Structure 1
Amino acid sequence: MDGMGKVDFTITTNSKDAQAFFNQGVAQLYGFWFVEAERSFRHTATLDPNAAMAYWGIAMAAPGTFLPAYQILLTPNPGPPVTPPNSPESRARAAIVKAQALRDSITPRERLYIEAVAAHHNPALRDQDAAYIAAMRRLVELFPDDLEAKAILALALENGYDAPAKSPKAGTGESLKLLRQVLAKDPNHAGANHFLIHALEGSKNLRDALPLANRYAALAPNIPHVLHMPGHVYAQIGMFDEAVKAFLAAAAKEREYMSADPRYSKLSYVHNEILLLHALGSQGRYRDAMLRIADLMSAKEIPADRETTEFFYRVGWFALMKTLVRFEKWDEILDGKTLPFYNQPSESLWYYWARGLAFASTSNAAGARNSLETMEQLIRSLKRVINPIPQQFQIAHSELAGYIDVSTGNVNQGLAELNRSAMSESLLPYTDPTVYPRPVLELLGKTALKARDFRTAESAYRRALENEPGSGRALWGLAKALEGLGKKEDAAKMLKEFRRVWSGDELR
């Protein structure tokens, strides 16, 4: 396949075609295109059944867990002790058995790769991740010029950053060092460019990833996630036009593959839409966002889909709720039609949170309190199933309670509660976009503006801009806070920047 990216990962085989398909599989693995990577590795094994590294590739690709370590922690997927036939884990383990059976016919370097993936899927080991990392470290130590080994090890060490200080967790510094070593030798390395973007996400130094974002899509232009990935960087540093272009390009490529193969996985498409809708919202493009949300929610729902977090309708519903709240469409939230009730635990909580905010914003204190009480009941019910419950629901309850206080005249008490909610939100683990629908700091800033507490508003909006550079809402709010403080020149600068990024209706 064209446009997969250039990889030169020499293995023991007498077949040029097997080597070519293996390289393609590695390139697809590096692009997190796991189904296609597994297909390429399986074709490698068909061309040369004695190519042990083909089975290594199958074991690396099949589980779909070749991801940054911090993402694995957010979505744990341990292999069960007994795996059902043809499950991703069973395919990985079967491939490892085949690879190990061929160990006498391959190089010491290849044996180390196979030992590493075998450790990663050994149910007898207490800490498979640590065993995998130890094996990969041994490989890097013995073969220090192996750029693939360094890149693969680095990905496993990407443990992210502590919130809210954004200080690197153990392993992250080593990962950054390894990836920079790879790129110093090969600036266009398909894996290292991708992995370094992920390694810098959530850090204070994300702008360092801009050169990577600018070149990465061209390295493998037919892998959808490769087209998508630069958008992460652009969106998080306030380059929303560029982010939207990246996400639209990825969406078009995903649709191309979905049209060609009805069995094609839609997970990457859904993830891309989530990021695209967030970027459109950040630009103020309400109508464009609502059109794409309607497209997602037009998908026919079957009962099994309701249990799948990546289902089109479910993703569309959350994006709808988030968009209506961020654009303060209170009448639409309360009309009983625009935002339909979704009878799932998480969605039910967000539904009443959104309605509570809408009631409080339209001077209906009784409706807001009823929504808050319903949230409390739902939280109690959820605790019987999940304890502790996800922190974002406690934050949502606290935010709504604080906003009700402000809207009913208890301004100081409400602002203090909103500030506590914002601090709790800052401690949530890094995700892109954040799991929280709207930054609490936006509401804190706006309520402080309304109360003419301009210093609190300025502080809130400056903190919001630290978390989301280029946020039109935060820029607008900061401009208004600075006006209130008599800092007219600074306010004018903020308004100018606001108009650069904002494409929607004027805020109020």
Structure 2
Amino acid sequence: MAFSISPVRQSSYRSGRAAMWLGLCGSLGLVAVGGPSMAEEPTASHVQAASAVAPENVVAAGHSHHGEAFDQGPRQAAYLMGTTGQVHFPVTSKHPQVQAWINQGVGQLHGFWYFEAERSFRQAAQLDPDCAIAYWGMAQANINNEKRAKTFIAEAVKRKESASRREQLYIGVLSNWYAFETKNEGDLKRQRAQKSIKELEEIVYEFPDDLEAKAILALQTWQVRNDLPITNHVALGTLLDAVLAKHPQHPCHHFVIHLWDYERRERALASAAQCGQAAPGIAHMWHMPGHIYSGLKRYADAAFQQEASARVDHAYMTRDAVLPDQIHNFAHNNEWLCRNLIFLGRLGDATALATNMTSLPRHPKYNRLPGGGSAHYGRLRLWEIYSQFEMWPELIRAAHESTLSPTSNTPEQIKRLRMLARAYDSTGDIPKFDATGKTLRDWRDRITEDRELAMARAEAEARAKEPSKPVDDKAIASARKSATRSTDETLRQLERAIDEVTALRLARSGDHAEAIKKLNSAGGANARELARLRLAAGKKEEARTELEKYVSQHAEEVLPLAWLVDFLAEVGDEAAAKEKFTQLQKVAHAADLEAPALQRISKRAKAWGFPDDWRTPRVTPTDIGARPLLASLGPLEWVPPTAVDWQLPGRLPGSSEVSLVSSADSKGKPTIVIFYLGAGCLHCAEQLQKVLPKVKEFEAAGISVVAISTDDLPQLEKSIERFGSDVKIPLLSDSDLLVFKKFRAYDDFEAQPIHGTFLVDGQGKIRWHDLGADPFMDVDFLLEESQRLLNPARFQDVTYPTPRPEGTPASALDPMNQVEKAKSEKTQDTPGNPVSPDIEATSRPRNSRA
């Protein structure tokens, strides 16, 4: 598909920043000529240093002219989607099209699609800069960003006199909310919550036919529940029922689900069957029924909803060129879908989804490792999938590719080694099992040495602080404890990992009782493995009781029930095994039978006279409503958008002639495309200064680099003169901004270009991008991430900590020892302050090799 945007204003961009400022003050999409201005004094972050081309007090290139709040959020034009819920929120406006944008924005708010809601409200404000409710909507869309919300609601208040009485009441509620200073105190928070609910009730009283007022009142009551607990769920449910009685497809089905989730989920089943259909273009509306179905252990229905959510998100990302983890709730939805697929025994689907999550683009803002994004959750679920389904060779392979490769995160590194040890043990690769165990023990020993050294240094510093006073034992103990606090958790995790390795070794040698103890101390033991160890240790009844207890706690899950069937058959209770097998036939209706745990069941089923496919088809529930075909909602995995073709004039490295350069020149070769805002943008110059020294490293990785400027050709020459022979990449001119717009490196609302950095692969797919008020500066991250995305099999091993060599002197280990020794020598003749004869000795690690 073409990587394009909705039609945008064709205002020309003036290369002179001062001229641009003057020209746009009267023609910006959000400010009317002679009308109220949204612009405040530019903040320090917006003002560039003075230069010949960037005069003082001119807003920095790429930043909004309306203040810092507008640097964030959507910068591209909205379009009417038609799939965001049927709502009607009457608005006062001189422009006839504003109503449609307000309706869409309110529908998106109901679906918690805040990013797109703000875009819709910005579009309304562009059409009618005096539309007060548009700024109210922008504030509502920033429920999680108080600073921006306050800026937007202040703009709404400025314009509320031209709004209707009803609109003024809505603006007043939100303005009063942000004006109420709680000082983070519980009583004040409760008062603020009560005030907001009373004010929304007044709107309901005065405008009883306003369905949105009832829906927003119900939502607000739920949202402030931590400050003002809900005491009558039934009354609140009745309020929402009143909305749905008038408008059965109102998106407040979403609020019904939140109201009854964790309370009485069965009361939300009707809304769960209609929520996604009420606003089919909003992924979160498909996701929310999954809460209800998961809580009721209806995992197949939950998985349908969560897959629908993922597909809707994927379609939106590709269509509108959005990075996956820029989307609220995206990673959470997909990792929960993975969990439910595991419960259903859908090994192949769970593995594919989790693997895809690890492969998605990472970004310092949106998807970090560690963090709460797809990279983190993908790894978390893959470890779980491979271990629970006993896919040990697959785990080993993935751990030696980028999928589960080593990271810079210590807990993740320990987990990786722990999982590899288990996989090597399970596949019989004892040399690698032993080597992995040694790596963990060496790491533990080094941490122990370092902790001893840190405590010794802390003690020496504490003693030297006030040498004339008697030693304060409590202060010394506190200093020593503080010195090791940062590594406490690392040491605990290493000890647990070593306990698990020890347990596996003990089990292999036949000491099952001790293996159980070690496995319990390690934590996270697999229920099947514990049952087998107990059985081997002669604790048959305990093994059975504990496994049956685990299965009862994990009802409707395939693997636990399969483990129990296998266990019962193994201990000779065939009648009980067949009884549980009958349950398993229904629970495993969608399970992948090639999983090792289920292959064992298939062998037993065949011996009992059952066919190869022993699963019982699921009876479709009658309360799930009319569901669409999942494939009609979007692709199952994220598909990178396709970059448009382009051709621009510019200068090639080492050439004094103007050449035409096109995207076709890089066909088959990945390219970093940098959009920069000309010679007058100091931040752009900083970015290029960071990129140019790294060009050889990009080229060594098979990646070319090109920079596209807003400058015309004469201005482009100035950039080339500035960088001189350091320019090792093509610098191209796009003074008409045609390519900027096609790549969305353009603010449609303010008709100006913005900074952009893109990775386009050899097939013309945009694999990564960054757009915003500032250029992307982390070039090392860009290089590393580009290589990861382009070469999934790429693997970079790491060196793990090891104990220091025998005989290393303490002073060589820690320079602070020399400092403290010098301090002590200065004070050793001070009356009443005898120097400890063992300061350096106390600085030496206890029980260490040093």
Confirm or deny: 8 A CA contact 2:201 2:217 kept in the other structure: no
> What TM-score does the superposition give when structure 1 sets the normalisation length?
0.72
- Cα distance change on mapping 1:450 and 1:50 into 2, 3 Å: farther
Structure 1: segments with no counterpart, 5+ residues: 66-87, 160-168, 423-437
Asked if residue 36 in structure 1 is aligned to residue 116 in structure 2, the reply is: yes
Partner of 1:69: none
How many angstroms apart in 2 are the aligned matches of 1:478 and 1:254? 38
Aligned partner (choices 274, 277, 282) of residue 343 of structure 2: 282
**Corresponding residue to 2:334 among 237, 259, 273:** 273
Match of 2:148 in 1: 91
Q: Provide the secondary structure at the position in 1 that maps to 2:413.
A: helix
* 400, 404, 419: which one aligns with 1:337: 400
Supply the RMSD in Å over aligned alpha carbons: 4.5
Q: 1:151 aligns with which of 218, 224, 236?
A: 218
Q: 1:421 to 1:294 in 2, by over 3 A?
A: closer
Matching residue's letter, 1:337? H
Structure 1 residue 472 corresponds to structure 2 residue 555: no
The answer to whether the aligner puts 1:351 opposite 2:413 as a matched pair is: no
Q: Displacement of 1:257 after TM fit?
A: 1.8
Question: Residue type of the partner of 1:41?
Answer: F
Asked if the contact 1:194–1:216 (Cα under 8 Å) also holds between the matched residues in 2, the reply is yes
The structure in which a higher percent of residues are helix is: 1
Deviation at 1:472, TM superposition (A): 0.6
Alignment check: 8 A CA contact 1:274 1:319 kept: yes
Q: SS at the partner of 1:500?
A: coil
**SS in structure 2 of the partner of residue 503 of structure 1:** coil
Paired residues of 2:243 and 2:250 also in contact (CA < 8 A):
no
- Worse-superposed segment, 366-375 or 312-321: 366-375
TM-score of the pair, normalised by structure 2:
0.46
- Change beyond 3 A, Cα 1:379–1:285: farther
Shift of 1:122: 5.0
Q: Give the whole-Å Cα distance in 2 for the aligned partners of 1:105 and 1:344.
A: 55
Identify if the C-alpha distance between structure 1 residues 113 and 318 changes in structure 2 by more than 3 Å, giving closer, same or farther. Answer: same
| Contact kept? 1:37, 1:61, Cα under 8 Å | yes
Match of 1:495 in 2: 584
Identity among equivalent pairs (%)? 24
Q: May I ask how many residue pairs the two structures share in their alignment?
A: 459
Comparing 493-502 with 252-261, greater Cα deviation is found at 493-502
Aligned CA distance change for structure 1 residues 307 and 407 (closer, same or farther; 3 Å): closer
Distance in 2 separating the partners of 1:442 and 1:396:
24
Alpha-carbon distance, 1:501 to partner = 4.6
CA distance in 2, matches of 1:177, 1:367: 63
Q: CA deviation at 1:25?
A: 1.0
Q: CA offset at residue 92 of structure 1?
A: 1.6
Q: Is the 8 A contact 1:179 1:196 kept in 2?
A: yes
Summarize the Cα distance change of 1:454–1:493 in structure 2 as closer, same or farther, 3 Å threshold: farther
- Give the aligned residue type for 1:340: S
Residue 255 of structure 2, aligned match among 195, 204, 209 = 195
How far does residue 93 in structure 1 lie from its aligned partner after superposition? 1.8
1: CA distance between counterparts of 2:197 and 2:163? 20
Query: Contact 1:116–1:136 at 8 Å: present in 2 too?
Result: yes
Alignment match, 2:28: none
Secondary structure (helix, strand or coil) at the match of 2:280 reads coil
CA 1:196–1:185: 2 relative to 1, 3 Å: closer
Q: Distance in 1 between matches of 2:583 and 2:443?
A: 37
**Contact residue 109 and residue 141 of structure 2 kept, 8 A:** yes
- 1:474 positional shift: 1.7
Within 5 A, what are the aligned runs for 1:44-443?
Answer: 44-63=124-143, 65=144, 89-104=146-161, 110-111=167-168, 113-118=170-175, 121-122=178-179, 124-127=181-184, 130=190, 132-142=192-202, 143=204, 146-157=213-224, 171=229, 174=232, 177-186=235-244, 188=248, 190-201=250-261, 203=262, 205-263=264-322, 266=325, 267=327, 268-299=329-360, 306=368, 309=371, 312-334=374-396, 337=400, 339-358=404-423, 361=426, 370=438, 373=441, 401=499, 404-405=502-503, 408=506
With over 3 angstroms needed to count, the CA separation of the structure-2 counterparts of 1:110 and 1:174, relative to structure 1, is farther
The 8 Å contact of residues 112 and 135 in structure 1, kept in 2 or not, is answered as: no
With CA pairs under 8 Å and 6+ residues apart, which has the higher RCO, 1 or 2?
A: 2
Q: Does structure 2 conserve the Cα–Cα contact (< 8 Å) formed by 1:53 and 1:110?
A: yes
Separation in structure 2 between the aligned mates of residue 378 and residue 180 of structure 1, nearest angstrom? 62
Cα distance change, pair 274–50 in 1 and its aligned pair in 2 (3 A): same
Quick one: distance in 1 between partners of 2:440 and 2:377? 24
State the Cα deviation string for residues 406-431 of structure 1 (Å, max 9, x = none): 76256567657877888xxxxxxxxx
**Residues 351 and 265 of structure 1: CA distance in aligned 2, closer, same or farther (over 3 Å):** closer
Task: Tell me the CA shift for residue 264 of structure 1.
Answer: 5.6
- Deviation of 1:98 (Å): 1.4
The 1:407/1:110 distance shift into structure 2, 3 A limit, reads: farther
Q: Distance in 1 between matches of 2:164 and 2:222?
A: 24
Give the aligned partner of residue 82 of structure 1.
Answer: none
| C-alpha contact (below 8 Å) 1:240/1:283 kept by paired residues | yes
Please say which of residues 301-310 and 145-154 is displaced more in the overlay: 301-310
> How has the CA–CA distance of structure 1 residues 218 and 397 changed in structure 2, closer, same or farther, with 3 Å as cutoff?
farther
- Which residue in 1 is equivalent to 2:457? none
Note the C-alpha offset of 1:226. Answer: 1.7
Cα distance in 2 between the residues matched to 1:306 and 1:370: 30
Residue number in structure 2 paired with 1:79: none
> Aligned equivalents of 1:495 and 1:176: distance in 2?
38
Q: Aligned equivalents of 2:368 and 2:214: distance in 1?
A: 43
Structure 1 distance, partners of 2:584, 2:310, is 32
Paired AA for residue 57 in structure 1: G
**Kindly tell me: are residues 120 and 334 of structure 1, through their superposed partners in 2, closer, same or farther at Cα, counting changes over 3 Å?**
farther
**Amino acid across the alignment from 1:33:** W
CA–CA distance in 1 between the matches of 2:177 and 2:447? Answer: 37
Give deviations 1:200-220, integer Å, cap 9, x for gaps.
44x374344333222111111
Question: In structure 2, do the counterparts of structure 1 residues 111 and 406 end up closer, same or farther at CA, with 3 Å as the change threshold?
Answer: farther
Letter aligned with residue 59 of structure 1: A
Give a deviation string over 1:358-407, Cα, whole Å, max 9, x none. 35656868567557657868999999999799999979975984785476
Letter in 1 for 2:222: L
* In 2, Cα distance between equivalents of 1:220 and 1:247: 15
Q: 1:53 and 1:386 mapped to 2: Cα distance? A: 54
Q: CA deviation at 1:95?
A: 0.9
Higher alpha-carbon deviation: 144-153 or 359-368 = 359-368
Paired residue type of 1:494: Q
Query: Which structure features the higher share of strand residues?
Result: 2
Q: State the one-letter code of the partner of 2:236.
A: L
Bigger shift: residues 97-106 or 306-315: 306-315
| Aligned counterpart for 1:8 among listed residues 68, 88, 107 | 88
Amino acid aligned to 1:278? R
Q: More deviation in 211-220 or 343-352?
A: 343-352
**Quick one: which amino acid aligns to residue 285 of structure 1?**
R
Q: Residues 216 and 306 from structure 1, CA distance in 2 versus in 1: closer, same or farther, beyond 3 angstroms?
A: closer
Encode CA deviations 1:285-326: one digit per residue, 9 max, x unaligned: 333333344444444657776457355545433333232222
- Choose 483-492 or 16-25, whichever is displaced more: 483-492
* Residue 243 (structure 1) shift: 3.5
- Change over 3 Å in CA distance of 1:235–1:298 after alignment to 2: same
Secondary structure in structure 2 of the residue aligned to 1:25: helix
2:106 is aligned with what amino acid? V
Q: How far is 1:37 from its partner?
A: 0.6
